[in-house]
Structure 1
């Protein structure tokens, strides 16, 4: 019997492509909510896995929503306008 080597493999959850839009948003909300604690207190491995999962989920969101609404104040030009007003 051949042994299965699981080094360098990580189980990070359901493939984002298999999630419906509501499930994807829930996963994104959860991962964004846990980011700060993982960054400050998680092990190097936990932070790496969190980074990978965040990239997977955000990448899928952007793939599905290439023309998403972008608030003017969240652009570089919008930030410059805010600075000029202050």
Structure 2
């Protein structure tokens, strides 16, 4: 169910389009947009924005992993320190 562009669930308002309904290009675009906004949201966003960011990140990344369970993995990324 939607209310003014916000998808409503039993848990409350959920911002953004259901990741399962996105095409691959749209999913990648949403992930890229989310990652660009991550630091600013973490540093300056109110708690509600940060909660929504974490939820949206989990939703989009879960959808990505469901679509690409055999994604290419670079073994050297497992041992790199940040």
Superposition TM-score tier, normalisation by shorter sequence: 0.7 to 0.9
1:23 aligns with 2:29: no
Uncovered stretches (5+) of structure 2, i.e. residues with no partner: 1-8
Q: Calculate the TM-score normalised by the size of structure 1.
A: 0.77
More relative contact order in 1 or in 2 (CA 8 Å, sep 6+)?
1
Root mean square deviation, CA, Å: 1.7
1:12-65 CA-partner distances (Å, limit 9, x unpaired): 111000000000000000001100000000001100000000000000000000
After TM superposition, the runs of 4+ consecutive aligned structure 1 residues lying more than 4 A away are: none
* TM-score normalised over the length of structure 2: 0.81
Shift of 1:73: 1.4
